[in-house]
Amino acid sequence: MATAESTNPTALSAPVARAAAAPSIQVAAPSRREFLYYIWGASIALLLGQASAGLIWFAFPRFKEGEFGGAFAFNPEELPGVGAAPTSVPAGRFHVTQTSEGLRALYGVCTHLGCLPKWVPTNGRFECPCHGSKFQLSGTWIEGPAPRNLDIFIATVTYADGTTVETPAEGGAIPLDADREITSIQIDTGARIIGDLHP
Ligand code: FES
């Protein structure tokens, strides 16, 4: 039996008529000006992304503890006596020395052309094997083509009472208090003070 809907010709033809009446959709190609705007916008986004990545890179430490460029825990028991041969830490490229002025962490790279001066016990000084520059236990230049004293890393000494002393910002030694126990010494190989030029 035919239903009223199937036999009504207008009910079948209405959707067909709407479809026929719908406008066709056409996608226009971007104009040259729009295309340049897209390129410009993408370039700005790329630059902003690179700048953000750079900020994040500098905001967080890149070196682990005990890795050159980062902080080193130096055992206070290895602190040399006043005037004694330095304690060298090859992984950190520094020498810890103690003079009558106090403690220094000397960067172990020659200020001439970057060779590695060695401590020569018989002469009581650092001597560079490349061009003969020589430095005192304090890092002070003695002779040779090196233009300045050895550079210094910032050290932090912590006493048992919790107080700390740090390498002065202008360089030099940390005076040590012999009456107080040192519980830790930290050397920051990421913080270098450039040695003074010699006269
Ligand atoms: S690199 Fe040390 S004296 Fe030249």
Ligand 1 atom nearest the C-alpha of 115 is 1
Q: Is the CB of 108 under 6 A from ligand 1?
A: no
Considering the domain architecture, whether residues 123 and 144 belong to the same structural domain is answered as yes
Q: Which residues contact 53 (CB under 8 A, 6 or more apart)?
A: none
* CATH number of the domain enclosing 108: 2.102.10.10
Counting the structural domains of the chain, the total is 2
Considering the domain architecture, whether residues 36 and 106 belong to the same structural domain is answered as no
Q: Is the CB of 112 under 6 A from ligand 1?
A: yes
Residue nearest to atom 4 of ligand 1 (CA): 131
Centre of ligand 1 from the C-alpha of residue 128, in Å: 6
Considering the domain architecture, whether residues 77 and 115 belong to the same structural domain is answered as yes
CB 124 within 8 A of CB 101: no
Centre of ligand 1 from the C-alpha of residue 195, in Å: 15
Query: Helix %, strand %, coil % for the chain, to 5?
Result: 25, 30, 45
C-alpha dihedral sign at 50, 51, 52, 53? positive
Q: Is the CB of 113 under 6 A from ligand 1?
A: yes
* The pLDDT of residue 35: 72
Considering the domain architecture, whether residues 43 and 113 belong to the same structural domain is answered as no
Query: What residues make up the domain containing 166?
Result: 71-193
Q: Is the CB of 110 under 6 A from ligand 1?
A: yes
Binning pLDDT at 50, 70 and 90, where does residue 1 land? very low
pLDDT tens-digit series, residues 14-50: 454 454 555 666 767 777 777 787 778 888 788 887 8
| Region for residue 39 given its phi and psi (left: phi exceeds 0; alpha: psi -120 to 50; beta: otherwise) | alpha
* The pLDDT of residue 61: 59
Binning pLDDT at 50, 70 and 90, where does residue 98 land? very high
Q: Is residue 96 situated within a structural domain?
A: yes
Considering the domain architecture, whether residues 130 and 148 belong to the same structural domain is answered as yes
